[in-house]
Amino acid sequence: MGNCFQVGRRRPNSDLLLAVVQALVGADEAIVSVWRQSLRAVLGEAEVAAQVSACDRLPA
């Protein structure tokens, strides 16, 4: 875990980061899935446009 924060690192270790998220949120796969998709976008493995959502109405 310690080398994840080592000076000079440019990319997060996605497997390690997802393991930390899973340890923190438990079995909530929805949260882990959001983190997984976000990591893919940050690392250039997915289209960032997939992260955008829109609503068809204003909040109350």
Over residues 44-54, the mean pLDDT reads: 61
- Domain map of the chain by residue range? 12-47
Q: What pTM did the predictor assign? A: 0.56
Q: How many CB atoms lie within 10 A of CB 55?
A: 6
Return the closest-CA partner of residue 12 out of 47, 55, 51, 41. 41
Q: What is the pLDDT of residues 15-37, one digit of tens each?
A: 888 888 999 998 888 988 888 88
- pLDDT recorded at residue 23: 92
- pLDDT recorded at residue 56: 76
